[in-house]
Structure 1
Amino acid sequence: MAMKRRLSILAFVMILALALSACGGDESNKEGSDGNDTEAQADGQSQESGQGSEVKGQVAKGKTVATVNGEKIKGSEFNTVLQAVQQQSQKTGQKVDVEQAKNQAVQSLVGQELILQDAKAKGYEASEEDINNRIEKTKSQFESDEQFKKVMKQQGLTMEKYKNQLSEQLTVEQYTEKEIDTEKVTDKEAKDYYDKYSKDAEDAPKYEKVKSQIKQGLQEQRKQKARAEIVKDLKKDGDVEVNI
């Protein structure tokens, strides 16, 4: 009988998240995501800036790593996303594959830019109120305004630059919500998924405690696949050049 593992709720959810990533990873590695996941990773790693290990594969900040319909993506953006990708791998216990991480980072940025351009072309735009609300929500995750400002400085962000980034992120979120319609994950699908990954785990958290995380992860996986198809089509119709 295989040795069973004792898992905390957090560890169990991380394993489920890793499994979800693996299930949906083939397509996203080929085409890249729209950038939403990377944005989330970057938000998470921002509070840990300076605490991680060395980031491998970084490039000069001014280097153009990709051009999307005339819009240049610079090394400064690439390095930030690359750091988030590598830290995410380390958190889940994976060995960092530098070339794979570089490809994931640049494709994520390309996908994000393609989605953003399509969103703007269709009239999506974040309001000032939405941007300010998101800033306040982000600030609330820090112990103080001083800590928030410290992390902003570590990331090389001014408030103006941060607002611009949030504007783009929120615009993409609006686009995703309206343009991407995926079938809702059922309770049965979530339970089947839980049963599959909990059978070899001793003292796994009860299903009800992780049900919402599982459903959210499965739903996001479906959205990722749908976004990947949109990015694939936008690439066909666009002019994309990767220089890394």
Structure 2
Amino acid sequence: MTSSKTSLMSLTSSARRRTRTALGALSVAAVLTLSACGGGSGSDPGDAAADSSASSSPSDSGSDGASDGAAAGAQPDLDAIPDVVAEVNGEEVTKEEFVPIYEAAFAQAASQAQMGGEAPDEEQLRKQTADDLVDTELLAQEAEARGLEVSDDDIDAELTTLAEQNGMKSADELLKAVEQQGVTAEQARDQVGTQVLVEQLVADENGPIEPTDKELRALYAQAKEQQAQAGQSGQGGAQKIPPFAQVRDQLVEQATNQEVGRVATALVEDLRADADITINL
């Protein structure tokens, strides 16, 4: 893999359009961990703390996602999806790029529905997926306008970090794991590239994210409260949360992801106000 910089123009063309990462799943760590390990990195403070004591343990019952949905035999209706799902300031979001993300969302919804006894709401899932892809396209267009770019080294470094967070020895090991779940190495790299691009855009918009100790301790307190509530409700398998110092790095990551999501969401709201968006669902 070369280390030469990939211009944002190329990233925002064919490569990025093949595998956009939905804003609703902004953390690529969550996407790749789901594929590689069958468990999520967590979207709330409790997951961040609990994962540190057993990195191979699923953080919640709904994170088996694609494998459970496939096992249940539920399949989404792809015939209802048009060839051009949406247009964003003249850029097309195609069925080809929409389908993989929609199928993953459907599989997770099908798994959760299996427990709840209700079928997935496909119309709502299609709308949410389209909205997320539109949001991601808006962020990518804004990053391009600001002259931001992502290098191969940036992507390699993020993949290495994700591998280490999931107890793997290398980025190659992580990519092999996700390939076993139907995500190609190229798709994974594209997703990571989009994630890094959004993080660069957030930093350009709002400055570096540096969580304070007070914020981290607040997340830690939330995690302990969630654990206590789980114990009171009789949920089994709850793990004791390690001391604050032991999970501080995970809390930093969690707080950073939350702030990235907050800034990106606010930026999307501003961009939508002036955007020319057509959704064809």
What is the TM-score when the length of structure 2 is the normalising length? 0.57
Please name the residue that 2:241 is paired with. 206
**Alpha carbons 1:139, 1:148 under 8 Å: kept:** no
Q: Is the 2:139–2:198 contact (alpha carbons within 8 Å) kept by the matching residues of 1? A: yes
Write out aligned runs for 1:87-236 (5 A). 87-89=107-109, 90=111, 96-132=120-156, 138-142=171-175, 154-155=182-183, 159=186, 166-181=192-207, 184=211, 186-202=215-231, 204-208=239-243, 212-214=249-251, 216-236=253-273
**Matched-pair contact (CA < 8 Å) for 1:42–1:81:** no
The answer (yes or no) to whether the contact 1:36–1:169 under 8 Å persists in 2 is no
Q: After superposition, what is the alpha-carbon deviation per residue over 1:37-89, rounded to whole angstroms, capped at 9, x for unaligned?
A: 27555434555797342342435777111111111111122221123323445
Percent sequence identity is 23
RMSD between superposed Cα atoms in Å: 3.8
Pair 1:56 & 2:85 matched:
no
Q: Distance in 2 between matches of 1:114 and 1:60?
A: 25
Task: State how far apart, in whole Å, the 1-side matches of 2:173 and 2:255 are.
Answer: 28
| 1:24-39 matched pairs, under 5 angstroms | 34=23, 37=26, 39=28
User: SS in structure 1 opposite 2:131?
Assistant: helix
Q: Which has the higher contact order (CA 8 A, sep 6+)?
A: 1
TM-fit CA distance, 1:110? 0.8
Q: Distance in 1 between matches of 2:32 and 2:205?
A: 24
Contact 1:59–1:79, Cα closer than 8 Å, also in 2: no
- Aligned pair in 2 of structure 1 residues 135, 199: CA closer, same or farther (>3 Å)? closer
> Secondary structure at the residue paired with 1:141?
helix
The whole-number CA distance in structure 2 between the counterparts of 1:216 and 1:35 is 17
Gaps of 5+ in 2: 1-21, 39-64, 161-169, 232-237
Letter in 1 for 2:204: K
State the Cα distance separating 1:220 from its structure 2 match.
2.4
Match among 65, 78, 85 for residue 98 of structure 2: 78
**1:5 aligned residue:** none
The alignment of Structure 1 onto Structure 2 pairs a total of residues equal to 206
SS in 1 for 2:150: coil
Q: TM-score, normalised by structure 1?
A: 0.64
